[in-house]
Amino acid sequence: MIDGRVGGPVSLRDVEALVATKLDAGPLGYFAGGAGDERTLADNEAAFARLQLLPRVLVDVSAVDTATTVLGTPISMPVIVAPVALQRMAHPDGEPGMARAAAAAGTLMCVSTLATATAREVAEAAPGAPRWFQLYVLRDRGVTHALVDEAVDCGYRALVVTVDAPRAGRRERDLRTGFAVPPGIDMPGVSAAAGHSVGLTPADFFSLVDASLSWKDLEALVEAVEIPVLVKGIHTAADARLAIAHGAAGIVVSNHGGRQLDGVPAGIDLLEDVVQEVAGDVEVLVDGGVRRGTDVLKALALGARAVLVGRPLLWGLAWDGEAGARWVLETLRAELELDLMLLGAATPAQVVRAHVR
Ligand SMILES: Cc1cc2nc3c(=O)[nH]c(=O)nc-3n(C[C@H](O)[C@H](O)[C@H](O)COP(=O)(O)O)c2cc1C
């Protein structure tokens, strides 16, 4: 896969550049964009650039292994597929293709409520592979329960409740292009609640989300479902503590890829505070701006169990469908393996706080 064909992409950024001319302006702006002035979007990558790695030498790295676990599930590397909406808009392979790519790369995919395939279709595309389901709690609780039941039924191992999007952030690229869900693209979860998907803007489909959701609803959800519930979109130590108090089994420190409240810090800059507060009670994941194996190392050093990757996988999918998404995952894994060696750590568990400044 990652044969470095001369002229072909070498890094994730190369793939991003390849698809910039391939996608129409509306989908491209929807995938790439952030909220407001995109300060948080830019800072997600800049924050990784500000951190520096401090390798240790003369450590035996002759047998490096990138494998780890998340919530007890073995995965080939501490990198999982972030929940990302509308994947068939990137490529007809869509979420089923992404699921096969994740399975082939040995890692876990988190499937969005705003997916363009049902949870069952995605499960059937890669039977046996581990999966999580990302939940937006909709005002229509009947539809919400049906989505949860389907995911549980199909063997999804955890729910990831996204709590940073009671409404869509002000995504001005979408306003400029007039982005709406194009003909031929259906989000079954949205259609179940709104009757259809085509023609809806992000503001429209996020208006289905229950903006009244509070901690007591989270607790009720945790009690009602038999699989663990993670909370995605946590910024502060105080909210991490509340999430645990209300039954969360994991925390995802995330600003939704800079698409919600512009002006919040990069997740990587908030990670350590959250990790310290949580003090090992639950696993903490982080996302936003991960583009390199070295970014993964920085997140591990600051206490993340794993990272989620969003846009680069969309670029991979848009470039070459399932094979392109797989290329992105395998390239990240290959980078991480080399980077672990150069850092002087044989496994993700051997990456410690002193490796980063
Ligand atoms: C196009 C796009 C769609 C997204 N859709 C969802 C979604 O449906 N649910 C969700 O929880 N997060 C969603 N996210 C946020 C991602 O899960 C993740 O937090 C973010 O993409 C990480 O940043 P990165 O793109 O820099 O890797 C979306 C992000 C993008 C770019």
* Chain mean pLDDT for the chain: 97
Q: Which tops the pLDDT comparison, 1 or 314? A: 314
What is the spatial distance between Cα 64 and Cα 337, in angstroms, rounded to a whole number? 7
| Structure-token pair, residue 316 | 């991979």
pTM given for the model: 0.98
What is the spatial distance between Cα 82 and Cα 288, in angstroms, rounded to a whole number? 10
What is the spatial distance between Cα 10 and Cα 327, in angstroms, rounded to a whole number? 10
- pLDDT value at 5 more than 80: no
Could you report the per-residue pLDDT of 323-344, keeping only the tens digit for each?
Answer: 999 999 999 999 999 999 999 9
Domains of the chain: 12-355 (3.20.20.70)
Could you report the per-residue pLDDT of 217-250, keeping only the tens digit for each?
Answer: 999 999 999 999 999 999 999 999 999 999 999 9
91 is known as an active-site residue: no
Look at ligand 1, atom 14, and give the residue with the nearest C-alpha: 84
Q: Percentage of the chain surpassing pLDDT 90?
A: 98
**Quick check: CB of 309 below 6 Å from ligand 1?**
yes
Q: What is the pLDDT of residue 325?
A: 98
Residue to mutate, 84, 98, 253, ligand 1, most ligand atoms under 8 Å from C-beta: 84
pLDDT band at 4 (very low <50, low <70, confident <90, very high): low
* Residue 32 CA, ligand 1 centroid: distance in Å: 10
- pLDDT value at 3 more than 60: no
Q: How far is CA 349 from CA 5, 6, 69, 336, in A?
A: 33, 35, 10, 13
Q: What is the pLDDT of residue 21?
A: 92
Could you report the per-residue pLDDT of 55-86, keeping only the tens digit for each?
Answer: 999 999 999 999 999 999 999 999 999 999 99
**Quick check: CB of 31 below 6 Å from ligand 1?**
yes
- pLDDT value at 2 more than 80: no
